[in-house]
A and B are shown apart, each in its own frame.
Chain A
Amino acid sequence: MFAWPAYNTLVVLAGASLLGMAGGLVGSFAVLRRRSLLGDALAHAALPGLCLAFLLVGRRSLPAMQAGALATGVLGVIVIALLRRATRVKEDAAIGIVLSVAFGAGVVLLRYIQNETTEGSKAGLDAYLFGKTAGMIAADVVFIAAVAALCAAAVLILFKELKLVAFDSAFAHVQGWPTLSLDLLLLGLIAVSVVISLPAVGVVLTAALLILPGAAARFWTSRLDRLLVVAMLFGLLTGAIGTLISAQVAGLPAGPLIVLVGAALFLISALAGPRRGAVARWIALTLQRRQLAKQRLLIALYEASDLAKTQGLLPGAQVITAGALAVSEAMPIAKARRDVRAGQRAGLLDRAGAWTERGASQALAAVRAQRICRQALRDYPELMVSRFDLDYSAAVADLPRELLETIELKLRREGAWPDNPRSGMTAGTSP
């Protein structure tokens, strides 16, 4: 059963939530600025710094180790930038090289400490690999809160500038904003939020805490201010739920659990997000397909009834048969039968196959939109090319009124302006 968490757990919960919020806030900018994997490199490069600080101080001291982590992490990012600028090494290779070599160096130092020093085995440096939230004390949480507040303050003060750089840094540069300094500031924010997350989430997976909330929030909104709020909320949930699970289940490192919670939130967002989510996109796509199918059906039925009327193919002419449809649209008879049945099911045609009032008016609208669209495409291609749409009524919806009237006149003159398909019926059959 779920037990009400003890004081220690509450402390850890607060700490992890704050970490998540800071990660979400800073990470959103990293994701938008296409700097996601820099956080990963930074986290891996922090490992040798942690170990070196431990070797130098000679015991486990959180401030010293975080300073060391910050130093080598930032050094790693600088090396990436220099490699990219000054050599023929590409950015992806530079990130990979720094990440893996620094991590290798960290592993070497870690093993050395464990094998060669007496207190090394007890120091729990292992916890820095995959993270351990249990060791968090109130002082740590205060420190995390201070750093998180610092990040929040920086983002609040420089919101406009960071927004501009995140979305269009070339434009920002041309406008005279100090893009380099802003990028460095962003890098600094990433660095401090990575370093404070290291003890809880571990060097291997800290980057996820930066990337996941921001990337998940992106599915819910397209406004930066809302994005930041949602990302912070996701970060909070990620940290809190991950910590709760790791407190309930013994023997599992906290980092991977936190990341899995974040991944679950991401998955939910990717599926359920409005507009951008998979479900919303699927629904929109299905609706559009249905709309297009109906449009095609209306036009095909109209053409069939038009042909029957003008050619006098069928006596009476009010009834659309599969045969007439097959002839007019040059389609297989089986498909024509299906179409007629579909029209009857949709209430466009009555049982006998004659237009219902609703069907007639809808068909008339669809065919008019199609003819206008085609004529406009011929006469005003430069206007139509940008709005060319498979959905005719959407394509002509916002054309200027005078233009529509001109086209209508022209079509009337050519005898191509569609009439209500029921109008040709005799007075007796039509109510």
Chain B
Amino acid sequence: MNVLGVHLSEATLWSMAVGIVTNVACAVLGCHLVLRRLSLLGDAISHAVLPGIVVGYLLSGSLGVLTMLAGAWAAAILTSLLTDSLTRYGNVPEDASMGVVFTSLFALGVVLVSRYARNVHIDADCVLYGLIDTAALDVVAVARWYVPRVLLTLAPVLLATLVFLAVFWKELKLTSFDPALAAALGFRPRMVHYLFMGMVATVTVASFEAVGSILVIAMLIVPAATAQLLTDRLLRMVVAAACVGAISAIVGCWGAVRWNTSAAGMMAVVAGGQFAVAVCFAPRYGLLSKLWHTWQLGLRIVGEDVVARLFRAEELARSAPRTTALTAPARAGHLARLAGGPIAGRLALAQLWWRGDVAFRGDTGLTLTERGRRLAQMLVRGHRLWESYLGEHFALPLDHLHEPAERLEHYLGPRLQEQLAEELAEPGRDPHGREIPPSA
């Protein structure tokens, strides 16, 4: 099969399949790791299972799944217990105790691998890179196909993970988001926690052969963190994480063939790339969309300041027609600069004009349209209502009322204005003696 100028052999496709199964299993579990802020415990466990695996291997003399699993569970529980007791009884800070425990266990694992398990099935290379590149070399006949042996352990683990998530969906969700409530409702968050960590250890062990001990953490955390940027709902997050994981596997394997390098590493890089894209472009939590919202808000505030200023100028012209300096036709550029600086001011003016809030006339300059006047009236009403409210309820001097009101006027909707007016019994004038315009 030829994809984008890269020949994908059958072996590569099998690697891809192994990658997809690994990544999806890790990604769906990783969602809860990220939500529970246990990412680093996941990291610690994925390092610490190594000595467990090696001891299990040495005891059984083979890479039997069950002995390795038992060893890994023991190591995972040991990590959790040691970290907890160091923090609790030894007064070691939590991050340091985690760092102590997992580096020590991992070092022990590497020494054991190098000393006793050299040149057999697990070696230092396997610890680092996994065997996914060569997954297709070790096959088992299933029906008419030769399936990689790794896939035969990974597929049931994926299934078990999905079943685990489905069965304990409610419990996991509750304990992830609100452990105190869960405890109050009798859901035993500690037990759910240990069950969950056991599942993490299981998936870590199963993935160990495929992607190695260190890169598992990329498969666990990165898709989940990416999905968390995309959505606020757990089910969607899990599905999105699974998709991100699968894409990482497919593109990662392709890239590994294209540049002749490690598939596990490439999958981590692709996952990281997707995360970077999400950080920049996620619809709600992305940097770009945040920037856009801030910019939009800024423009709106500048525009509102301009119309409110025009409204006040009209007011002044009615009450004191002779003060010509202030009632003179407002020069558009000047006003906009006053409100928001040259660029933002002009953009805000353009936006106002486009919406039909202001009109440009040759002789009088910038004037409010009927629509703009209504908008301005609401703003000024909000401003003066807030000044009245502050004057009534806080012992503030008169000259301290304007500034907070100037800031808050942009956020006082009609409902809040109504409540304020009701609370103040429809005041006619603000503390400065200016008339509060009626609701438009």
Closest residue of chain A to B44 (Cβ to Cβ) is A37
A104 on interface, CB distance cutoff 8 Å? yes
Q: Are B100 and A215 in touch, CB under 8 angstroms?
A: yes
Closest residue of chain B to A214 (Cβ to Cβ) is B96
Closest residue of chain B to A277 (Cβ to Cβ) is B90
Looking at the complex, which of B10-18, B263-271, B397-405 is the stretch in contact with chain A? B263-271
8 Å CB contact of A104 from B98, B111, B264: B264
Q: Are A97 and B100 in touch, CB under 8 angstroms?
A: no
Within 8 A of B (CB), among A24-60: 31-32, 34-37, 39-40, 44
- CB B48 to nearest CB in A, in angstroms, measures 12
Give the docked Cα–Cα distance between A253 and B103 (Å). Answer: 15
21 A-B contacts (beta carbon < 8 Å):
A36-B99, A37-B98, A37-B99, A89-B229, A92-B37, A92-B39, A100-B268, A103-B218, A108-B262, A108-B265, A111-B262, A112-B260, A208-B99, A208-B107, A211-B96, A251-B114, A251-B118, A257-B107, A262-B104, A266-B104, A270-B86
Within 8 A of A (CB), among B79-102: 86, 89-93, 95-100
8 Å CB contact of B217 from A96, A129, A270: A96
Give the docked Cα–Cα distance between A37 and B93 (Å). Answer: 11
Q: Are B218 and A259 in touch, CB under 8 angstroms?
A: no
Q: Are B272 and A37 in touch, CB under 8 angstroms?
A: no
- Using a CB–CB distance below 8 Å, which chain A residues touch chain B? 31-32, 34-37, 39-40, 44, 83, 86-90, 92-93, 95-97, 99-112, 115-116, 129-130, 204-205, 207-208, 211-212, 214-215, 218-219, 251-253, 255-257, 259-260, 262-263, 266, 270, 276, 278, 281
8 Å CB contact of A256 from B97, B111, B279: B111
Chain B positions within 8 Å of A32 at CB level = 93
Q: Are A36 and B95 in touch, CB under 8 angstroms?
A: yes
User: Chain B's interface: helix, strand, loop or mixed, by majority?
Assistant: helix
Q: Are B104 and A107 in touch, CB under 8 angstroms?
A: no
Chain B positions within 8 Å of A262 at CB level = 104
8 Å CB contact of A260 from B86, B95, B111, B220: B111
Q: Are A270 and B90 in touch, CB under 8 angstroms?
A: yes
Chain A positions within 8 Å of B95 at CB level = 34-37
- Using a CB–CB distance below 8 Å, which chain B residues touch chain A? 34, 37-40, 42-43, 86, 89-93, 95-100, 103-104, 106-108, 110-111, 114-115, 118, 124, 128-129, 214-215, 217-218, 220-222, 224-225, 228-229, 256, 259-262, 264-269, 271-272, 275, 279, 285, 287, 290
Chain A positions within 8 Å of B271 at CB level = 101, 104
Chain A positions within 8 Å of B91 at CB level = 218, 276
Chain A positions within 8 Å of B128 at CB level = 107, 129
Q: Are A278 and B89 in touch, CB under 8 angstroms?
A: yes
Chain A positions within 8 Å of B260 at CB level = 111-112, 115-116
Q: Given A37-B99, A97-B225, check contact A104 B40 (CB 8 Å).
A: no
Q: Are A89 and B225 in touch, CB under 8 angstroms?
A: yes
Chain B positions within 8 Å of A104 at CB level = 215, 218, 264-269, 271-272
Number of cross-chain contacts by CB at 8 Å: 207
Q: Are B43 and A96 in touch, CB under 8 angstroms?
A: yes
Closest residue of chain B to A270 (Cβ to Cβ) is B90
Q: Are B214 and A108 in touch, CB under 8 angstroms?
A: no
Q: Are B99 and A40 in touch, CB under 8 angstroms?
A: yes
Given contacts A36-B95, A37-B40, A252-B115, 13 further A-B contacts (CB under 8 A): A44-B214, A89-B229, A96-B42, A101-B222, A101-B269, A102-B272, A104-B271, A105-B265, A116-B260, A130-B110, A208-B103, A256-B107, A257-B111
Q: Are B266 and A259 in touch, CB under 8 angstroms?
A: no
Give the docked Cα–Cα distance between A318 and B261 (Å). Answer: 91
- CB B365 to nearest CB in A, in angstroms, measures 42
Q: Are A211 and B99 in touch, CB under 8 angstroms?
A: yes
- CB B279 to nearest CB in A, in angstroms, measures 6
Q: Are B272 and A276 in touch, CB under 8 angstroms?
A: no
Top 6 closest pairs, chain A to chain B, by CB: A104-B268, A101-B272, A107-B265, A100-B218, A263-B104, A208-B103
Most chain A beta-carbon contacts within 10 A, residue among B38, B106, B262? B262
Chain B positions within 8 Å of A37 at CB level = 40, 95, 98-99
Chain A positions within 8 Å of B107 at CB level = 205, 208, 255-257, 259-260, 263
Most chain B beta-carbon contacts within 10 A, residue among A88, A207, A214? A88
Closest residue of chain A to B268 (Cβ to Cβ) is A104
- CB B116 to nearest CB in A, in angstroms, measures 11
Q: Are B104 and A215 in touch, CB under 8 angstroms?
A: no
Most chain A beta-carbon contacts within 10 A, residue among B95, B103, B124? B103
Q: Are B96 and A31 in touch, CB under 8 angstroms?
A: yes
Give the docked Cα–Cα distance between A40 and B115 (Å). Answer: 25
Chain B positions within 8 Å of A105 at CB level = 265, 268-269, 272
